Amino acid sequence: MSTPKTQSEWKLTELAEAVGVSPRTVRYYVQRGLLPAPPFRGPDTVYGEAHLVRLKAIRVLQARFLPLDAIQAELQRLSLDELRQLADSDATPTPPVYAQPAPGSAVVAPPDPATGLKRYERWELLPGLELHVSEAADTKTRALAERVRALIAEFQEREKP
């Protein structure tokens, strides 16, 4: 009894279908640097396992609501084995859960245990308006964030009847 051969090369449409994205999305990710360009062979251009793994990892990170710039940084940081683990993890969207703070107070969101991404403080400036400041932000950035918060407070004071 022979073992079934696993696929190691995909045409663009096959790769896109395997991950659940459009071929246009794959081309965009290559252009953007999220995926390496495949070796060009005209109509015989194929994508390899590394492309499949990276695409699956991108989908998982998108489900965790990371923007493409943060996803790109994660892809560069992780080894192929770490990308495989990430690609095999749950891609179900999981929006961040925050405690409901009083307006104007800050909440520190825990880091994502799977990726170890930086922690952010979430400041609710007004209902429906939030400011997120990285825990690793420098003094100048934090001062700017505090100034924005103060401007909102001043605005609210002027708007009171």
DSSP E strands, 6-45: 9-10
What Rg value do the Cα atoms of the chain yield, rounded?
A: 21
Q: Torsion-angle region of residue 10: left (phi > 0), alpha (psi -120 to 50) or beta?
A: beta
pLDDT at 113 over 70: no
Task: Decide if 24 is inside a domain.
Answer: yes
Q: Model's pTM, two decimal places? A: 0.56
How confident is the prediction for the chain on average, in pLDDT? Answer: 80
Judge if 75 and 129 occupy the same domain.
Answer: no
149 and 115 housed in the same domain: yes
pLDDT at 98 over 60: no
pLDDT tens-digit series, residues 39-87: 887 778 899 999 999 999 999 998 888 889 989 999 999 999 999 999 9
Choose the final residue of a domain: 88, 116, 133.
88
Do 13 and 58 fall within a single domain?
A: yes
Coil vs helix vs strand at 47: strand
Domain presence at residue 132: yes
Clarify whether residues 78 and 129 are in a common domain: no
CA 62 to chain centroid: 5
CATH number assigned to the domain comprising residue 56? 1.10.1660.10
Report yes or no on 61 lying in a domain: yes
Total domains, the chain: 2
User: Using one digit for the tens of pLDDT, what is the confidence trace for 144-161?
Assistant: 888 888 888 887 787 776
Domain interval for residue 42: 9-88
Could you tell me if 78 and 111 lie in one domain?
A: no
Regarding whether 52 and 19 lie in a shared domain, the answer is: yes
Instruction: Identify the weakest region by mean pLDDT among 14-23, 39-48, 86-95, 131-140.
Output: 86-95
How many Å apart are CA 123 and CA 146, to the nearest integer?
A: 10
Partners of residue 47 on adjacent β-strands: 10
Using the predicted structure, report yes or no on whether residue 2 has a pLDDT greater than 50. Answer: no
DSSP conformation letters of 99-158: --PPTT-EEEPPPPTTT-PPPEEEEEEETTEEEEEETT--HHHHHHHHHHHHHHHHHHHH
Q: Answer whether residue 143 shows pLDDT above 80.
A: yes
Is residue 42 in a domain? yes
